[in-house]
């Protein structure tokens, strides 16, 4: 067998062994978790039995973790910056093999162009070996680049984890952080944190609760805030308890967030460590391939009888590949140990997270219970608050109602007496007129006093009940102003009514004539006057509409008599008879109280064709003129009949025409005179 054939057979054997080694490496890489430590058992993460650590244990664990992570960061930085690291070795080896392969390709091209087939065939075999070594070196360099990037990522994650752990340690030891922490990785809380987000509020400084803070629950704007009523001790204690429990719940949630962030950083470290483990395994696989290739080359060169420096160089490369394989295997075991440590730390953090979650849930439940208790105390419609409200305000409200009712009763009983004394002391009118004025003023005063008692009592009741009266009064003032602009006549009615009562223009039972309406006063208020006429019709007249009023019964009244007699009667005798009858009527007991003065004879008032009219007057008490006049007219009719005095009769003219009947009608005096002249 020729030398070229032996070299080709050796090269094929080398490729076969390298392929087998590459297949084994690929199988291991495809299952990177084959040698990973098993996940923690389920019972170790049971939330019903979390690991509750004391502060001393937490501080010690954090200090140990910080020291370990800081040491690890220093090691990684040294490893990245080490000029003799695997990255730099892989880079140098790949550059050397890449340059060699390029040089051999150039020489092969020249040999083929020169037609040297034997040398070209030998160089092709050498180029194939160099290309195989170059591919292994390239894979090693790619893996070194990936590993370098992963190491840098791991350094960043560890630095972030160090900051979070240092913050947690500072919080436990009470040390103020000197520099602001980096923004932690946003990680949602685990599903177990079934806490309503509104039950845990931001912590606030505990201050003595005031009514303004206690009433900030969306109550009506009519609820009185000024002056504030002192809150009860129970409400103060409940408010303080809510503040304390909310702060505790917020601190517990912050602790959960801190542990969760640390756990997220640790999970990222675990992921990176798994990548590094996979890279170490791949590196081990490449080292095995390199070792196999070196052994094949060494055996082939030995079989070819190669001796001296070249064989020693091949033996050195085989020893280097063996060393690289051992280093790669050692790195795999180191990564496994590191991964085991990280998973152990993860289990501990998960237990700590479960404990923090349970503590946060408990604190939040306590805060929710305290908040519900405070809401119940602040709810004005709860049975307890209603009972307490009645105990606090009930006696005062009952006293206000009792005093108002007593004042109303006293007003009803005393108003007439007070008004009667006022009228009697300020007026010299007859008792009947004073009585009518008293009735008028009593009605008005009672209405005004009732309105005053109701409004005043209502304001005091609202004040005691907690309703802000000032906004209501302000609104009423604005409404009153609007009504005043829109209802000026109504204001004028009240003003005129006040003036009418003040000047005593008329009173109840007076007979008035207002415009075209006349009747007796039935009721008087500040706004209107009510008249009832002789037919029983009631007229409601606004006081502002009264421009002129005629009072027929103000102070005293007068009965006016117009007695008509015939021309043949003696007027003087008739006048004496009338005066005698009027004087007799005045002296009778039934009419002596109605007639207040002697009759006044005016004499003959009218003389016409129908007769003579005699007028005389009789002064009476108010509203008594009609009764006196009726009685005296009845007696005059009877006396005239006894004496045979003929009263005046209207003149009648009878006209007769030919061919027609007679007709009788009463004509005016002028018509009668004209008819007589014509006849």
Q: What is the pLDDT of residues 589-599, one digit of tens each?
A: 888 888 988 89
Q: Which has the higher per-residue pLDDT, 311 or 215?
A: 311
Q: Are 247 and 203 in contact (CB under 8 A)?
A: yes
E strand or H helix that includes residue 441: helix 431-465
What tens digit of pLDDT does each residue of 379-413 get? 777 777 777 777 877 888 888 889 988 888 888 88
pLDDT for residue 653: 54
Q: Which has the higher per-residue pLDDT, 365 or 197?
A: 365
Among candidates 354, 273, 283, which has minimal Cα distance to 37? 273
Q: How far is Cα 460 from Cα 28, in angstroms, rounded to an integer? A: 91
Is residue 373's pLDDT more than 90? no
Q: How far is Cα 184 from Cα 166, in angstroms, rounded to an integer? A: 13
Is residue 560's pLDDT more than 90? yes
Torsion of CA 341, 343, 348, 351, to 10 degrees: -170
pLDDT for residue 425: 67
Q: How far is Cα 466 from Cα 490, in angstroms, rounded to an integer? A: 33
Is residue 496's pLDDT more than 90? no
pLDDT for residue 670: 47
Range scoring the smallest mean pLDDT among 116-120, 324-328, 379-383, 504-508: 379-383
For the chain, percent of residues with pLDDT exceeding 90: 9
CA angle in degrees (0–180, nearest 5) for 561-566-569:
95
Mean pLDDT of the 487-516 span: 80
Helices (H), 115-223: 117-173, 211-214
Is residue 473's pLDDT more than 80? no
The residues facing 647 across adjacent strands are 565
Q: Are 353 and 47 in contact (CB under 8 A)?
A: no
Q: Quickly list DSSP for 563-583.
A: EEE-TTS-HHHHHHHHHHHHH
Among candidates 412, 382, 357, which has minimal Cα distance to 191? 357
Across 220-240, b (16+ Cβ under 10 Å) vs e yields eeeebeeeeeebeeebbebbb
Helices (H), 588-664: 589-592, 625-643
Bond into 227 cis (ω within 30): yes
Label residue 433 by pLDDT band (50, 70, 90).
low
Torsion of CA 5, 11, 15, 18, to 10 degrees: 140
Provide the 3-class DSSP secondary structure of residue 200: coil
Q: How far is Cα 204 from Cα 186, in angstroms, rounded to an integer? A: 25
Range scoring the smallest mean pLDDT among 118-122, 226-230, 251-255: 226-230
Mean pLDDT of the 118-141 span: 82
Q: Are 563 and 575 in contact (CB under 8 A)?
A: no
Q: How far is Cα 302 from Cα 448, in angstroms, rounded to an integer? A: 136
Is residue 189's pLDDT more than 50? no
Label residue 429 by pLDDT band (50, 70, 90).
low
Mean pLDDT of the 59-73 span: 85
Is residue 657's pLDDT more than 60? no
Query: DSSP secondary-structure letter at 562?
Result: E
Gyration radius of the chain's alpha carbons:
63
pLDDT for residue 307: 66
Chain mean pLDDT for the chain: 76
Beta strands at 549-551 and 663-666: parallel, antiparallel or unpaired: unpaired
Q: How far is Cα 302 from Cα 316, in angstroms, rounded to an integer? A: 14
Torsion of CA 339, 344, 345, 350, to 10 degrees: 120
pTM: 0.44
* Most confident by average pLDDT, 121-130, 196-205, 566-575: 566-575
Query: DSSP secondary-structure letter at 227?
Result: S
Q: Are 105 and 127 in contact (CB under 8 A)?
A: yes
Is residue 44's pLDDT more than 50? no
Label residue 421 by pLDDT band (50, 70, 90).
confident
Burial of 642 (0-12, 13-18, 19+ CB in 10 A): exposed
Cα separation values, 677 from 142, 673, 674, Å: 159, 6, 5
Label residue 631 by pLDDT band (50, 70, 90).
very high
Label residue 656 by pLDDT band (50, 70, 90).
low
Is residue 180's pLDDT more than 70? no
pLDDT for residue 218: 40
Among candidates 148, 122, 93, 28, which has minimal Cα distance to 293? 93
Q: How far is Cα 546 from Cα 512, in angstroms, rounded to an integer? A: 11
Q: Compute φ and ψ for 523, nearest 5 degrees.
A: -155, 145
Range scoring the smallest mean pLDDT among 192-201, 329-338, 486-495, 527-536: 192-201
E strand or H helix that includes residue 603: strand 600-608
Is residue 664's pLDDT more than 80? no
Label residue 462 by pLDDT band (50, 70, 90).
confident
Among candidates 273, 271, 252, 247, which has minimal Cα distance to 185? 271
Across 466-478, b (16+ Cβ under 10 Å) vs e yields bbbbeeeeeeeee
The residues facing 615 across adjacent strands are 562, 603
pLDDT for residue 580: 92
Query: DSSP secondary-structure letter at 382?
Result: S
How far the first Cα of the chain sits from its last, in Å, is 195
């Amino acid at each position: 067998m020729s030398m070229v054939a032996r070299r080709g057979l050796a090269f094929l054997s080398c490729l076969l062994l390298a392929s087998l080694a590459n297949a084994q490496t690929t199988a291991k890489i495809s299952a990177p978790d084959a040698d990973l430590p098993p996940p923690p058992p389920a019972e170790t993460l049971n939330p019903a039995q979390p690991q509750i650590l004391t502060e001393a244990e937490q501080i010690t664990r954090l200090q140990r973790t910080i020291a370990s992570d800081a040491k690890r960061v220093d090691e990684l930085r040294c490893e990245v910056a080490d000029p003799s690291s695997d990255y730099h070795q892989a880079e140098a080896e790949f550059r050397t093999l890449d340059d060699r392969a390029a040089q051999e390709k150039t020489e092969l091209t020249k040999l083929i162009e020169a037609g040297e087939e034997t040398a070209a065939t030998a160089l092709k075999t050498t180029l194939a070996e160099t290309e195989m070594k170059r591919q292994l070196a390239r894979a090693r360099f790619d893996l070194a680049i990936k590993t370098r990037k992963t190491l840098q990522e791991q350094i960043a994650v560890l630095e972030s984890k160090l900051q979070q752990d240092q913050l947690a340690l500072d919080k436990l030891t009470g040390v103020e952080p000197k520099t602001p922490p980096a923004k932690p990785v946003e990680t949602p809380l685990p599903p177990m944190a079934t806490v309503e987000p509104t039950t845990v509020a931001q912590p606030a400084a505990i201050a003595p609760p005031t009514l303004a803070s206690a009433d900030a629950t969306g109550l009506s704007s009519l609820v009185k805030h000024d002056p504030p009523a002192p809150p009860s001790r129970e409400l103060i204690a409940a408010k303080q308890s809510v503040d304390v429990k909310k702060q505790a719940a917020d601190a517990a949630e912050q602790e959960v967030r801190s542990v969760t962030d640390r756990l997220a950083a640790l999970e990222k470290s675990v992921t990176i460590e798994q990548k590094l483990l996979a890279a170490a395994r791949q590196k081990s696989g490449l080292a095995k391939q390199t070792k196999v290739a070196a052994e094949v080359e060494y055996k082939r060169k030995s079989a070819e009888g190669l001796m001296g420096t070249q064989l020693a160089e091949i033996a050195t490369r085989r020893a280097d590949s063996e060393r690289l394989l051992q280093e790669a295997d050692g790195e795999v075991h180191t990564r496994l140990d590191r991964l085991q440590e990280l998973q152990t730390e993860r289990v501990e953090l998960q237990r700590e997270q479960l404990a923090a979650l349970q503590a946060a849930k408990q604190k939040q439940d306590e805060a929710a219970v305290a908040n519900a208790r405070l809401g119940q105390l602040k709810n004005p419609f709860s049975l307890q608050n209603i009972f307490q409200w009645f105990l606090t305000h009930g006696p005062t409200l009952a006293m206000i109602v009792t005093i108002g009712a007593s004042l109303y009763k006293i007003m009803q009983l005393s108003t007439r007496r007070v008004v009667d004394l006022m009228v009697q002391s300020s007026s010299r009118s007859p008792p009947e007129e004073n009585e009518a004025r008293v009735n008028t003023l009593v009605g008005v005063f009672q209405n005004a006093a009732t309105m005053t008692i109701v409004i005043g009592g209502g304001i005091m009741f609202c004040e005691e009940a907690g309703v802000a009266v000032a906004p209501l009064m302000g609104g009423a003032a604005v409404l009153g102003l609007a009504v005043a602009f829109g209802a000026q006549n109504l204001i004028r009615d009240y003003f005129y009514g006040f003036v009418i009562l003040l000047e005593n223009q008329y009173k109840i039972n007076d007979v008035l004539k207002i415009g075209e309406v006349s009747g007796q006063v039935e009721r008087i208020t500040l706004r209107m006057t009510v008249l009832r006429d002789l037919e029983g019709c009631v007229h409601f007249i606004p006081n502002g509409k009264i421009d002129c009023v005629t009072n027929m019964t103000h102070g005293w009244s007068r009965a006016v008599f117009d007695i008509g007699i015939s021309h043949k009667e003696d007027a003087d005798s008739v006048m004496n008879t009338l005066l005698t009858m009027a004087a007799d009527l005045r002296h009778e007991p039934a009419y002596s109280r109605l007639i207040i003065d002697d009759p006044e004879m005016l004499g003959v008032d009218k003389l016409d064709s129908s007769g003579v009219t005699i007028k005389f007057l009789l002064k009476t008490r108010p509203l008594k003129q009609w009764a006196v006049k009726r009685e005296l007219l009845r007696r005059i009719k009877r006396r005239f009949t006894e004496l045979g005095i003929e009263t005046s009769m209207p003149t009648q003219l009878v006209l007769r025409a030919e061919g027609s009947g007679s007709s009788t009608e009463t004509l005016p005096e002028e018509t009668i005179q004209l008819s007589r002249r014509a006849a």
